[in-house]
Amino acid sequence: MKTFTQKVETIEKKWILIDAEGLIVGRLASLVALRLRGKHKATFTPHVDDGDNVIIINADKAVLTGKKYWNKTYYWHTGHPGGIKERKARDILEGRFPERVLEKAVERMLPRGPLGRQQLKNLRVYAGSEHPHAAQQPETIDVRAMNSKNAKAA
């Protein structure tokens, strides 16, 4: 029996819409990373980008559990000596681009390298409830209904 390998010509990409309102960031990010890689398909091939296109709306209403909202720190380096910088998750979520928390969570769950960067381009995250991808007729996925732990209890 021969091993199946997905060809670039036979890839079928779907468009998926997820509403992140009230969902836990880490659980949502792991599900989105799985969809972007294509691991939910029977035709998964590790070296081919056969994942779906994912649209996330209401990213500013996603929830961090525990004290992560105040304590989680994102670090980066400017490239200059002593150039380590940091920003708290609260500052990002209350700032100008709150969708970056979710983007960074998904990015860190994808493989590093050219394929991971290509797969990350299939992710579109919007802070509000509007998105410009209605022409693609995205299929809505209810992440809240998959598991009761995916959403923060009120």
> 2.40.240.10, 3.30.9.10, 3.90.1180.10, 3.40.50.10440: which CATH number matches 14-62+99-150?
3.90.1180.10
**Confidence at 1, pLDDT banded by 50, 70, 90:** confident
- Segment 126-138 shows an average pLDDT of 96
Q: What is the pLDDT of residue 111?
A: 96
**Confidence at 23, pLDDT banded by 50, 70, 90:** very high
Q: Is the dihedral of CA 3, 10, 33, 100 positive or negative?
A: positive
25-37 and 100-107 are packed helices; what angle lies between their axes, rounded to 10 degrees?
50
Q: Residue 154 pLDDT > 70, yes or no?
A: no
Predicted TM-score of the model (pTM): 0.92
98: which residues sit within 8 A by CB, 6+ positions away? 59, 60, 92, 127
Residues of the chain with pLDDT > 70, as a percent, come to: 99
Q: What is the pLDDT of residue 64?
A: 95
- Segment 89-107 shows an average pLDDT of 96
Note the pLDDT tens digit of each residue in 55-76: 999 999 999 999 999 999 999 9
Query: What would the 3-class secondary structure string for the chain be?
Result: CCCCCCCHHHCCCCEEEEECCCEEHHHHHHHHHHHHHCCCCCCCCCCCCCCCEEEEECHHHCECCCCHHHHCEEEEECCCCCCEEEEEHHHHHCCCCCCHHHHHHHHCCCCCCHHHHHHHCCEEECCCCCCCCHHHCCEEECHHHHCHHHECCC
**Confidence at 119, pLDDT banded by 50, 70, 90:** very high
Quote the mean pLDDT of the chain: 95
Count of beta carbons in the 10 Å neighbourhood of residue 91? 11
What does the alpha-carbon distance between residue 130 and residue 96 come to, in Å, rounded to a whole number?
A: 17
